[in-house]
A and B are shown apart, each in its own frame.
Chain A
Amino acid sequence: MADMDADTAAHTEPSVEEEEPFFSNLDLLLFSLIVGLVVYWYMSRKKPEPIPEFKKLDTAAPAARETSFIEKMKKTGKNIIVFYGSQTGTGEEFANRLSKDAQRYGMKGMAADPEEYEMAELARLSQIENSLAIFCMATYGEGDPTDNAQDFYDWLQEIDDEDLSGLNYTVFALGNKTYEHYNAMGKYVDKRLEELGAKRIFDLGLGDDDGNLEEDFVSWREQFWPSVCEHFGVEASGDDSSIRQYELKEHTDLNMNKVYSGEMGRLKSFEVQKPPYDSKNPFLAPVTVNRKLNKAGDRHLMHVELDITGSKIRYDSGDHVAVFPTNDSAMVNKLGQILGVDLDVVISLNNLDEESNKKHPFPCPTTYRTALTHYLDISQPPPHQRPLRAGPGKALYHSWVQGACRNILAILEDMPSLRPPVDHLCELLPRLQARYYSIASSSKVHPDRISICAVVVEYETPTGRTNKGVATNWLKNKLVTDNGHKSTVPMFIRKSQFRLPFKTTNPVIMIGPGTGIAPFMGFIQERGWLKEQGKEVGETVLYFGCRYKNEDYIYQEELEEAEKKGVLTQLNIAFSRDQEQKVYVQHLLKNSKEHLWKLIHSDNAHIYVCGDAKNMAKDVQTALQDIAEELGGMTRTQATDYVKKLMTKGRYSQDVWT
């Protein structure tokens, strides 16, 4: 077995563990959106050219040997061959899908097991016009090939004088990031073929089975085909169905009871609520409190309480509550207007790839209005868009969309020539994701309610627009009673590992500036409750930070009360802007380093960090390493390891987001 230590692997990754899947997902979806729009835009300017035909090239070939893939390709009129190195079938499945894809682009492909063919023939593939070899290669063991690719691998290693200069190729690698030799086989084939003179016509794709291999593959493939078409100078077959993943079906006579109106899983699950509640079946929790926390300043920090009475939902302090927001109806209407469509048409988008287990991009049948309100993200500008490799839209999209924080509405407003069909847009837009909040209450004290502490996101874009955060603005407007109706929030709980120590006597050190205080409000409630129960409770130290004492020192009364009662044994607050020089939580950590070190090193304290992942969490970690180095008499490396080990052993926990 290879080195699969999950913890070690994770050390090389950003510490934003919680957030990562969400963002890579988003990246992917946004990327396909951009590519889709570019392709659409590009194609809509040009008349489709006739599709070249890849007819049988050589019908008079002599009876071919079974091991000659060239003969087989010639006989069957194929120009693309997809080799797979696969042990458990994923690579083979991808190869089959790629070979089927080819048809949609006016080419013909076949999947092939390298073990069954004479691979030295690769040097002669150029005999076939517009030919291309694709390799789907999985990695095993210690960066080894699969059994069926072993001979191919050996051959690649042995040949030195082979000239593969006529060979067009591309590689998609299948692997798993938790292994030390991540995608070694795919990378090797990609590099080696280039060394031997072959022409890489599209960049290596890296699939990570630890993340989402299917999505890695799909996004690679979506970029790959347009690039192949471009390379061979062919247009993808005529109409743009060739680049569509879903097929539109309009329903005219469907009973509205069969139409999704925002449910995540079961139809009508919002009308007839049934536990257990989860991401497919969220609970509609009434909002019982919604108040502004900050005393002044132009931001809006809020405390929201959700009533979970009767839901059978249980939570622990430190868990996350997920909420499903909806988009601003004015924005949805505007989209409908710009695109000139009736938003109340009932539709389904059905996957053209029948093998895919994702039948629809979002629950169908539904209306465009519901899709754009509940299921699709229409307000997020692409945050970290991967650079576009080629194509006419590169410069345009990169700075124009990302740089200027344009969301889809802004894009359509500023680019009147771009009017994609609304169903195509629905296919390309990313899914609207649930938003997570660290629960700011303790179930010991409040078993029937869940508190959220959040800051409303609102910012100016370079084009002079105001972008508003979807969930926080929606939450802000969830008044306790709305025209006599209770406001409700679709929510579910996600368990976390951010937990108070089991032994109440163990000290806890909580570090959470800004909204990072959220879970600690729950922790403090719980430690207070334990004290009231007569339990002996260890030291409870809080490091909080905000901008100004008189503006955003949130929960001031509660915190000072807890300190008075001795629940908080230390309340340290860094007001960053009340003086010339910035004062942050990490500065206060340094100020009380002796005591901290004793708590950590001798008294088994648990450290908790919550809030901003980008800078704060890293700076705090560095500060703690400095303290270990100084007071523990360690070298830098030892101090770094010391802190890492605290993490591995669950004594240094982070609940951070970007």
Chain B
Amino acid sequence: MREISAEKITEVIKRLCIEANCILPQDMKSCIEKSLEAEPFPTAQGILRKIIENYNIAENEHKPVCQDTGAACVFLEIGQDVHINGNLQDAINEGVRQGYRDGFLRKSIVKDPLNRVNTNDNTPAMIYYDIVEGEKIRITLAPKGFGSENMSRIKMLKPSDGVDGVIDFVVEAVEKAGSNPCPPIVVGVGIGGTFDKCALLAKKALLREADSENPDPYYAELEKTLLDKINALGIGPQGFGGKTTALAVNIETFPTHIAGLPVAVNINCHVTRHVTEVI
């Protein structure tokens, strides 16, 4: 049994909050640079260049890439042979509190969805725990902006809708989102599970590197098909027209019920932030 202190977790979460918001991950940078090379439309090229200039300024000046520094989504894979000394949930929220305060990040969480008063420290975090083998903790911090979150959708398809139904629904979600989620976007797709599980799959799909592909060749191919169809819509960067509507489509799947085919589309923007540390 390995012991890990709650203080250690606070310290890591704090650091990851700041890093995730100020330094765009390498997978996103290379997707954006590649899309610029492939973009034929001059207006769109100009916007992609500004986007690159922006993340470079943010990194050099240690400033948030985007002013929506998001809801702090925290994913933990906790080894079953780890013992945490202290209150884990409090430790995570304390890390978020310190990170958002000391990193000059925006506090965007309201205490109640209808009686909207800001908590002023960006807590509580959205926390997801998985118990895995081993004696380590893998922490992923993914601040999620809401311009794109608001464009996300879920639908309970029928098994007979099949892969074509999935494709139609995903492409329709992106087309309806249009210029709102700050295209170029990253599209997280969850297929299978239950209503709730499917939404989580879509969110977890956004944690995977944007320049990676699904390990299952069938789904890797489906990711490519979806990306091509989305980039034929012509929405383009910021919705001003162009090829680059999406930078990547990531699919995650799970077994499901004989009667169902849930599909969730979690839309993220060109500021798709995720950073992982193993302790």
A binds B: no
The chain B residues found within 8 Å of chain A, CB to CB, are: none
Residues of A within 8 A of B (CB): none
